[in-house]
Amino acid sequence: MTTADPTPSVLQQPTRDRRARRPDHRDVDITGERRVPALSARIPRPFIAGAAGAVAVFLLTGCGDGGGDARAGGKSAGVVNSISASPASARPTASRTAATGRPEIAFPSTAKNVFEDTKTGDATKDAVLADSALSVNSVDEAILTGSTSTKALGFYNTGKALNASITFINGYLNKKDTWIGETRFFDRKVTLSGADKAYVTYCSDESKSFIKYRTTGKVNRTPTTSQSYVLYHTVLAKNADGVWQTSDIVSNRGDQACQP
């Protein structure tokens, strides 16, 4: 992965590419770019330096349909269901999250997030990656259900990341948009900083996810371009309950580091 400029021009508030692509999660305006909300603060230099190798500051999700970008990630059906979201039509009676007291996340059968690189061989890093994926899914669940009051959103996100996510989600809800398809999250890398802080960088492929207009049912199937790929830089902090919450996030749509 090529090292990207640590000061990407991301913080534009709406415009994701995902389903339009979805608006960038830290990109929030859902106008014609995928979905990826744009966060309001840059990741500190220590993060960028520690992530050696990867890193253009990117945010989490994006779609290829008609909205902005948001965060998302690599996927594979089995991986997605086991890590974070189960289709609403096939929700397990006792999911891993429910069994541990964590809020369960469910997606409709028309949408899916697939996360690659789930195992590193280090238990702590694996836990960080798992909660990072749940953070992404919690944002998409809110978009898909049409509400920012879901239990998972504030459980896996905090601080600036939570505020940016809510703004991003509302970008969809205010326009009565949602998304369908599959978003893949790949090249996920973790850098630990002490016992309770970590940096995660990853790419999202929104070429197969699109914005859907709730009022008309129409799907904006935009063509795949370099803007279908987004780079994310996130900061996670371990809270008193042992949950790795995403506290800051930055994204860069079209970053060279994530191109096929």
- Kindly report, residue by residue over 133-148, the tens digit of the pLDDT: 999 999 999 999 999 9
Banded model confidence at residue 202, pLDDT cuts 50, 70, 90: very high
If pLDDT is split at 50, 70 and 90, which confidence band does 47 have? very low
Q: Which secondary-structure segment (H or E) carries 180?
A: strand 177-192
Res 40: pLDDT: 32
pTM: 0.71
Q: Which of 5-19, 159-173, 235-249 has the lowest mean pLDDT?
A: 5-19
Show the CA angle centred on residue 209, arms to residues 135 and 77, nearest 5°.
65
- Mapping DSSP to helix (H, G, I), strand (E, B) and coil, where does residue 136 land? helix
Residue 13 region, left (φ>0) first, then alpha (ψ -120 to 50), else beta?
alpha
Contacting residues for 123 by C-beta, under 8 A, at least 6 apart: none
Q: Which residues pair with 34 in a beta bridge?
A: 16
Taking only the tens place, the pLDDT of each residue in 57-82 is 333 333 443 333 333 333 322 233 33
What is d(CA 148, CA 196) in angstroms, rounded to the nearest whole number?
27
